[in-house]
Structure 1
Amino acid sequence: MDASSKGLFTQITQFWNLLDDLAESDPERYDKFIKWQLKEGKQFCAAPEPQLCLQTKILKPREKILFINLCQWKRIPAPQSNTHPVPLSIGRPEDMSETSDVFTVIDVAYNPDVLQAAEKDQKKRDQLIQMAMKCIEERLQITLSHIYHITKFRIKGSIQRMKQNLMGIQTDFPDLRQKMRKEIGLEQIGNSTMSNPDHFPQLLLTKDQVSDKTGCLIQEISSTEIQKEMKIPTYELKIVKDQNEKPLKIELKVELPGIDSISLCDLSVSEDDLLIEDSEKYRLHLNLPELVNTEMTTAKFIKENATLIITMPLV
Structure 2
Amino acid sequence: MEVSSKGLLTQVTQFWNLLDDLAESDPERYEKFIQQQLEEGKQLCAAPEPQFCLQTRILKPKGKTLFINLCQWKRIPAPQSATQPVPLSVGRPEEISETSDVYTVIDVAYHPDTLQAAEKDQVEKDRLVRMAMKCIEERLQWTLSHSYQITTFQIKGSIQRMKQNLMGIQNDAADLREKTRKELTLEQIKNRSVSNPDDFPQFILPKDHVSGRAPLIEEIGSTEIQVEVKIPTYELKIVKDQDEKPLKMELIIELPGIDSVSLCDLSVSEEDLMFEVSEKYRLHLDLPEPANAEKTTATFFKEKATLVITMPLV
Deviation at 1:201, TM superposition (A): 1.0
Q: 1: CA distance between counterparts of 2:23 and 2:177?
A: 13
Deviation at 1:106, TM superposition (A): 0.8
Residue equivalent to 2:50: 50
Deviation at 1:147, TM superposition (A): 2.5
Answer with 1 or 2: which has the greater Rg.
2
Whichever residue aligns with residue 150 of structure 2, its letter is I
Q: Is residue 185 of structure 2 the alignment partner of residue 197 of structure 1?
A: no
Alignment of 1:140-155 (within 5 A): 140-155=140-155
**Match 1:231 to one of 224, 227, 234:** 227
Change (3 A) 1:101 1:183: closer
Deviation at 1:135, TM superposition (A): 0.8
Alignment of 1:239-278 (within 5 A): 278=278
Give CA deviations for 1:213-263 in whole Å, capped at 9, x if unaligned: xxxxxxxx5444x22xx333699x9xxxxxxxxxxxxxxxxxx9xx89899
Instruction: Kindly report the root-mean-square deviation, in angstroms, between the aligned alpha carbons of the 2 structures.
Output: 5.3
Whichever residue aligns with residue 149 of structure 2, its letter is H
Change (3 A) 1:62 1:178: closer
Contact 1:71 1:109 in 2 (8 A): yes
Residue equivalent to 2:108: 108
Q: 1: CA distance between counterparts of 2:60 and 2:122?
A: 28
Looking at secondary structure, tell me which structure has more helix per residue: 1
Residue equivalent to 2:71: 71
Structure 2 unaligned blocks of 5 or more: 188-205, 234-255, 297-314
Deviation at 1:109, TM superposition (A): 0.8
Change (3 A) 1:64 1:98: same
Change (3 A) 1:63 1:272: closer
Alignment of 1:165-314 (within 5 A): 165-170=165-170, 193=207, 196-198=211-213, 200-204=215-219, 221-224=220-223, 226-227=224-225, 230-232=226-228, 278=278, 282=279
Which secondary structure state, in structure 2, belongs to the residue aligned with residue 97 of structure 1?
strand
Q: 2: CA distance between counterparts of 1:59 and 1:223?
A: 25
Which is worse superposed, 35-44 or 47-56? 35-44
Whichever residue aligns with residue 201 of structure 1, its letter is L
TM, length-normalised to structure 2: 0.59
Question: Percent identity among equivalent residues?
Answer: 62
Change (3 A) 1:126 1:20: same
Q: 1: CA distance between counterparts of 2:130 and 2:124?
A: 10
Which secondary structure state, in structure 2, belongs to the residue aligned with residue 68 of structure 1?
strand
Change (3 A) 1:28 1:269: same
Deviation at 1:140, TM superposition (A): 1.2
Q: Is residue 90 of structure 2 the alignment partner of residue 96 of structure 1?
A: no
Q: 1: CA distance between counterparts of 2:78 and 2:159?
A: 23
Which is worse superposed, 11-20 or 114-123? 11-20
Tell me the number of residue pairs that the alignment of Structure 1 and Structure 2 aligns: 268
Deviation at 1:131, TM superposition (A): 1.6
Which secondary structure state, in structure 2, belongs to the residue aligned with residue 198 of structure 1?
coil
Q: 2: CA distance between counterparts of 1:178 and 1:23?
A: 28
Contact 2:67 2:105 in 1 (8 A): yes
Which is worse superposed, 60-69 or 164-173? 164-173
Deviation at 1:265, TM superposition (A): 7.6
Change (3 A) 1:265 1:64: closer
